[in-house]
C-alpha cells in the first residue's frame, strides 16, 4: 500500500511537468521507441547532463574515438579556464568512460565552489555515485537534490530515477522484492490482460490519462541506463514490462516490443509477460510487429472498436431477450393465475333437473 501511495504522490507531483511536454511527446508515441530516444537526445540526456552537446552525441553514437577526443578537449578547456560548465562536462565524460572516482571528486569540488546552484552537477554526481556502486543511498540524495533545484531536468523524468534507486536499495535488503512489487509501484493484476491500476485516471474512451508522458519518461531514463546496465537487469526488465502494461491497458498501441525487451532484460515476472504477449497476439492477430507503431495502433483501435461493437450487440441481444422472456413470463403468470383462480373459486349449486315424463311427451 505504501508503494502505491508513494507512486500516486510522485505521479501527481510530476503531472505538472508532464503536462508541459505532453504536446511534444504525443506525436512521438506514433514512431518507433528507438526513434523517440534519438529525438530526445540532446545536451541533457537521461541521467547525464552537459552544458554542450558534442560529448553526449558522440556517446549515443557509440563513437568511442569522438568521446575520447571530446574529453581531451574538455580537460584542456577546463585547465585553461575552469568554470562550473567545463567541470560538469568533464566529469560527465569521465563518468562515460568509467572514471567514476575522478568524476565524483570533480563534481564534489564543483559543488563546494558553487553550492546549491546547479541541477546538472547534482544529477551527474548522483549518477556517478550510482554507477560506481555501493553508494545508492548517497546517489538517491543527490538525485533528489537535483529535482529540488530544477524539476524540469531530463524532461521531468528524474522522479523515475528516484524510484529506480529506491528499488535498488530495497532489492539490496530483499532480493525478492520485485517479485511482489514494481519500480513504478503500479499493479496491473495477475491476469493475461493487464488491468488499469485504480490510482491512474481513465478518460471517456476508457484509456489511461498520461500514458504517453509516463512511457516517454520510462524511455528517456532507459536510453542511458541501457548503455551502462547490460542484460539481465531486473529493474530495467520491470520498467519495460510496466511500459508494455501501460500500452496494453491504456492505449491503442502494441505492447509487444516493450514486453520483448522486458523478457530480454530478465523481468522478474517474465512468465506473466510471455502470457501477455501470447494473449495480445491472439486477440489482435492482424497486428504485425514489423509494421510502424502508427499502423499497429490503427489496427489495434479497429480491432478494439469491433470487439466493443460485438459486446454492445450482445448486450442489446441479451436485453431484448430479457424483455421477451419477461413478457412471456408475465403472460404465463396471468394465464396461470386465471386458471388457478377459476379452479379454486366456489361453484354455485345448480338446481336439480325437473322430472320429465318423456313417454307422455311422445303422445302429443
pLDDT tens figures, 285-323? 887 766 666 666 666 666 655 554 554 565 566 677 777
**Residue 254 pLDDT greater than 70, yes or no:** yes
Query: What digits encode the pLDDT tens for the residues 161-199?
Result: 999 999 999 999 999 999 999 999 999 999 999 998 887
For residue 334, being part of any structural domain is answered with: yes
Q: How confident is the model at residue 15 (pLDDT cuts 50, 70, 90)?
A: very low
CB 289 within 8 A of CB 256: yes
List the one residue out of 113, 116, 114, 142 whose CA is nearest residue 127: 142
Mean pLDDT of 52-72: 89
Q: Residue 279: its pLDDT value, please?
A: 95
**Residue 324 pLDDT greater than 90, yes or no:** no
Q: Residue 309: its pLDDT value, please?
A: 56
For residue 315, being part of any structural domain is answered with: yes
Mean pLDDT of the chain: 80
Identify the residue with better confidence: 289 or 329: 329
Q: Residue 342: its pLDDT value, please?
A: 72
For residue 236, being part of any structural domain is answered with: no
Q: Residue 127: its pLDDT value, please?
A: 94
Query: What digits encode the pLDDT tens for the residues 349-360?
Result: 666 666 666 666
Residue whose grid cell is 524540469: 152
For residue 21, being part of any structural domain is answered with: no
Phi-psi region of 193 (alpha: psi -120 to 50; beta: other; left: phi over 0): beta
Query: What digits encode the pLDDT tens for the residues 118-163?
Result: 999 999 999 999 999 999 999 999 999 999 999 988 888 899 999 9
Question: What does pTM read for this prediction?
Answer: 0.70
For residue 295, being part of any structural domain is answered with: yes
Q: How confident is the model at residue 228 (pLDDT cuts 50, 70, 90)?
A: confident
For the chain, where are the alpha helices, taking DSSP H only? 2-28, 33-40, 54-60, 64-80, 84-96, 100-113, 119-132, 136-149, 158-173, 177-180, 211-228, 234-250, 256-264, 270-283, 293-344, 358-363
Identify the residue with better confidence: 204 or 228: 228
Mean pLDDT of 344-351: 71
Q: Residue 164: its pLDDT value, please?
A: 95
Dihedral, CA atoms, 312, 315, 316, 320, nearest 10 degrees?
170
CB 270 within 8 A of CB 179: no
Could you tell me the CA-to-CA distances from 360 to 353, 354, 355, 356 in Å, in that order? 17, 14, 12, 9
Give the Cα separation of 286 and 299 in Å (integer). Answer: 7
Query: What is the distance, to the nearest Å, from the Cα of residue 340 to the centroid of all Cα atoms in its chain?
Result: 64
Q: Residue 323: its pLDDT value, please?
A: 78
Structural domain of 335: 290-341
List the one residue out of 346, 179, 149, 173 whose CA is nearest residue 270: 179
Q: Identify any residues that bridge with 208 across adjacent strands, giving them in sequence order.
A: 202
For residue 327, being part of any structural domain is answered with: yes
Q: How confident is the model at residue 361 (pLDDT cuts 50, 70, 90)?
A: low
Q: How confident is the model at residue 330 (pLDDT cuts 50, 70, 90)?
A: confident
Identify the residue with better confidence: 332 or 234: 234
Buried b (16+ CB within 10 A) or exposed e, 288-323: eeeeebeebbebbeebeeeeeeeeeeeeeeeeeeee
Mean pLDDT of 29-37: 40
Q: Residue 45: its pLDDT value, please?
A: 41
Share of the chain above pLDDT 70, in %: 72
Give the Cα separation of 171 and 179 in Å (integer). Answer: 10
Give the Cα separation of 207 and 251 in Å (integer). Answer: 6
For residue 319, being part of any structural domain is answered with: yes
**Residue 206 pLDDT greater than 60, yes or no:** yes
Query: What digits encode the pLDDT tens for the residues 71-126?
Result: 999 999 999 999 999 999 999 999 999 999 999 999 999 999 999 999 999 999 99
Number of domains in the chain: 1
CB 119 within 8 A of CB 149: yes
CB 123 within 8 A of CB 154: yes
Residue whose grid cell is 513504478: 184
Task: Reduce the DSSP state of residue 202 to 3 states and report it.
Answer: strand
CB 289 within 8 A of CB 279: no
Q: Which range is least confidently modeled, 2-6, 35-39, 262-266, 316-320? A: 35-39
For residue 133, being part of any structural domain is answered with: no
* Residues constituting the chain: 364
**Residue 36 pLDDT greater than 80, yes or no:** no
CB 35 within 8 A of CB 218: no
Amino acid at each position: 500500500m505504501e508503494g502505491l501511495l508513494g507512486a500516486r504522490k510522485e505521479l501527481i507531483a510530476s503531472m505538472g511537468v508532464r503536462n508541459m511536454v505532453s504536446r511534444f511527446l504525443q506525436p512521438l508515441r506514433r514512431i518507433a521507441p528507438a526513434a523517440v530516444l534519438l529525438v530526445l537526445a540532446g545536451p541533457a540526456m537521461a541521467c547525464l547532463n552537459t552544458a554542450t552537446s558534442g560529448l553526449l552525441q558522440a556517446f549515443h553514437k557509440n563513437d568511442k574515438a569522438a568521446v575520447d577526443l571530446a574529453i581531451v578537449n574538455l580537460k584542456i578547456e577546463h585547465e585553461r579556464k575552469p568554470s562550473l560548465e567545463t567541470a560538469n562536462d568533464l566529469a560527465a565524460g569521465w563518468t562515460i568512460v568509467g572514471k567514476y572516482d575522478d568524476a565524483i571528486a570533480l563534481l564534489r569540488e564543483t559543488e563546494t565552489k558553487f553550492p546549491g546552484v546547479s541541477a546538472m552537477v547534482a544529477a551527474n554526481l548522483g549518477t556517478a555515485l550510482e554507477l560506481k556502486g555501493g553508494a545508492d543511498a548517497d546517489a538517491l540524495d543527490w538525485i533528489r537534490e537535483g529535482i529540488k533545484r530544477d524539476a524540469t531536468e531530463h524532461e521531468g523524468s528524474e522522479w523515475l530515477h528516484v524510484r529506480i534507486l529506491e528499488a535498488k536499495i530495497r532489492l539490496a535488503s530483499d532480493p525478492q522484492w520485485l517479485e511482489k512489487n514494481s519500480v513504478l509501484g503500479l499493479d496491473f493484476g495477475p491476469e493475461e490482460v493487464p488491468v488499469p491500476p485504480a490510482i491512474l485516471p481513465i478518460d471517456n474512451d476508457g484509456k489511461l490519462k498520461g500514458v504517453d508522458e509516463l512511457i516517454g519518461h520510462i524511455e528517456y531514463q532507459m536510453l542511458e541506463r541501457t548503455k551502462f546496465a547490460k542484460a539481465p537487469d531486473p529493474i530495467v526488465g520491470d520498467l519495460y514490462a510496466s511500459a508494455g502494461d501501460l500500452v496494453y491497458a491504456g492505449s491503442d498501441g502494441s505492447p509487444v516490443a516493450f514486453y520483448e525487451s522486458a523478457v530480454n532484460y530478465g523481468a522478474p515476472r517474465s512468465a506473466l509477460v510471455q502470457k501477455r504477449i501470447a494473449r495480445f497476439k491472439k486477440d489482435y492477430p492482424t497486428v504485425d510487429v514489423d509494421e510502424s507503431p502508427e499502423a499497429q495502433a490503427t489496427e489495434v483501435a479497429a480491432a478494439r472498436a469491433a470487439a466493443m461493437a460485438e459486446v454492445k450487440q450482445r448486450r442489446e441481444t441479451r436485453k431484448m431477450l430479457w424483455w421477451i422472456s419477461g413478457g412471456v413470463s408475465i403472460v404465463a403468470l396471468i394465464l396461470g393465475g386465471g386458471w388457478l383462480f377459476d379452479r379454486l373459486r366456489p361453484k354455485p349449486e345448480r338446481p336439480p333437473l325437473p322430472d320429465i315424463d318423456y313417454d307422455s311427451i311422445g303422445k302429443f
